[in-house]
Amino acid sequence: MKKLVSGIIVAGVLAVNPVAGHAALGDNTLKPETHDSDVQDLQALLKKKGYFTYHETTNYFGPYTESAVKKLQKEKGMNVDGVAGDSVYKALGVFSKQAIVDQAEEYRGTPYEWGGETPDGFDCSGYLNYIFDKAANIDLPRVVKDIHEEGTSVDSPHVGDIVFFDVEGNGNLSHAGVYVGDGKFMHASSSKGVTTSELDSSYWAPKYEGAKRYR
């Protein structure tokens, strides 16, 4: 059964303009002497990867956290400054929502090409493969059906989630795009190339088959 798209616009606005809580890990740069709940999330992930050795996690970015970040940076051949920014998050498998949106937007207008997976031309899954790899180091499967099988289902899409469609109306998923907020998604359209469309449009709403998350 198709999931309803009512309320998606409101959810999308909240996704890019949150009114409560804190930004997800990856959305803010964290540096020494920062006090933030995201620091504890960062420490937990560094601990899981074997970099953070303190016996407990806290909300404070102190010497143990800085040392863990520097150890990761050195191991990965990065600039060793002890600051947790985009490159550190990417190495940890975390990405910011804005990074996905920026990467998706960069290729607006790229022509559609069946089987295309480079900026010379994309099909819908080739486009998603390319931008998720560049923005988040996430290696998606190559075809829509397999991308769908790997994701985690969500009730309504948030920025950076992938939305799926049954274009032919035969029960098979045949198209997908990345949700960019405000009820919109970006995708490689066979008629327009890489473009933005409205989820609740008369064309896309009846074909919508849900959203999945890949982080």
The residues that are catalytic are 124, 175, 187
Backbone φ, ψ for residue 187 (5° rounding): -160, 165
Q: State the DSSP string of 45-82.
A: HHHHTT---SSS--SB--HHHHHHHHHHHHHTT---SS
Residue 18 makes CB contacts below 8 A (sequence gap 6+) with none
Amino acid at 39: V
CB 186 within 8 A of CB 106: no
